[in-house]
């Protein structure tokens, strides 16, 4: 492996890192809002909302992300109404089309994760909050949501990692993020292995840090599950 070439590649790939992170963070942040709305629609008990959310999740989880990107980036421009609408300056940009597609896609997967979290909140907790006289929104904000987030976090972490990986598809609609730059360097130099190793290492590093971050948040959110060290020692002593 050519070290000089690899370090040169590393520098050009690192300059594409901000775009990858920007795509991932924007899509995950906006997607989480849509996902929460979808999860609440599923659990609302209102038939129309319920079926809309079901259909949404079914369609977005059943089709490839690349098709969704193409449908938004190339497909929507077919309609004159879209081209003349106020959204055109946004839908014309490959960046916003990629963000939109990634966001809508992650919302479908994340809504199921959030729904699982919301369903896992023990009924007794909600009842206790109601008995304390909390109004509905306060129960949701103070009791249901924190418990649901704690439960959904590991699954959401996996979804975030697959989103970081999914940003690579933005390179197909001309965005020069890490994979796009890597593909350009490969097709210019035909040195596949070096570029692959460097690009792969960057993605691995991002995902490793993301995993650690989520593990840390999970640790902070579950103090009640940590065993106090002193008591742990006493219990050990009793066993003898």
Tell me the C-alpha distance between 45 and 30, whole Å. Answer: 25
Compose the 161-180 pattern: x for residues touching other proteins by CB under 8 A, - for all others. x---xxxxx-xx------x-
HSE-up (13 A, CA, CB side) for residue 163: 33
Taking the least distance from each CB to other proteins, the nearer of 24 and 148 is 24
Is the separation of the CB atoms in 177 and 12 below 8 Å? no
Q: Is the dihedral of CA 19, 24, 30, 34 positive or negative?
A: positive
Q: Is 146 in the site for other proteins (CB under 8 A)?
A: no
Nearest-approach distance from CB 192 to other proteins, in angstroms? 4
In the complex with other proteins, which residue's Cβ is closer, 148 or 171? 171
CB 76, min distance to other proteins, A: 7
Shortest distance, position 177 Cβ to other proteins, whole Å: 10
Residue 204 touches other proteins, criterion: CB under 8 A: yes
Tokens 């729904």, located at residue: 115
The residue within the footprint of other proteins, chosen from 46, 128, 192, 235 (CB under 8 A), is 192
Q: Which is nearer to other proteins, 130 or 196 (CB)?
A: 196
Residue 217 phi, psi (nearest 5) = -60, -40
Taking CB under 8 A as the criterion, the residue among 75, 94, 116, 155 binding other proteins is 75
- CB closer to other proteins out of 73 and 147: 73
Q: What angle do CA 49, 54, 56 make, to 5 degrees?
A: 95
Between residues 122 and 200, which has the closer beta carbon with respect to other proteins? 200
User: Alpha-carbon dihedral of residues 181, 186, 187, 189, nearest 10 degrees?
Assistant: 120
């Amino acid at each position: 492996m050519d070290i000089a070439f690899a370090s040169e590649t590393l520098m050009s790939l690192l300059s594409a890192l901000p775009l990858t992170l920007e795509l991932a963070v924007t899509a995950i942040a906006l997607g989480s809002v849509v996902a929460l709305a979808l999860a609440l629609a599923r659990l609302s008990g209102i038939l129309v909302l319920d079926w809309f959310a079901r259909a949404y999740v079914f369609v977005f989880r059943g089709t490839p992300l690349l098709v969704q990107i193409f449908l938004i980036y190339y497909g929507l421009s077919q309609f004159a109404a879209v081209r003349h609408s106020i959204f055109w300056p946004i839908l014309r940009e490959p960046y916003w089309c990629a963000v939109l597609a990634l966001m809508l896609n992650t919302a479908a997967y994340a809504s199921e994760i959030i729904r699982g979290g919301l369903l896992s909140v023990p009924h007794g907790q909600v009842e206790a909050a109601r008995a304390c006289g909390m109004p509905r929104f306060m129960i949701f904000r103070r009791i249901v949501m924190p418990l649901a987030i704690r439960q959904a976090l590991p699954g959401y972490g996996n979804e975030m990692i697959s989103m970081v990986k999914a940003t690579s598809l933005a390179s197909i609609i001309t965005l020069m993020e890490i994979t796009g730059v890597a593909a350009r360097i490969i097709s210019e130099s035909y040195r596949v292995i070096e570029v692959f190793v460097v690009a792969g290492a960057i993605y691995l590093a991002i995902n490793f840090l993301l995993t650690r971050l989520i593990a840390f948040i999970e640790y902070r959110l579950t103090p009640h599950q940590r065993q106090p060290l002193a008591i742990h020692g006493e219990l050990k002593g009793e066993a003898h």
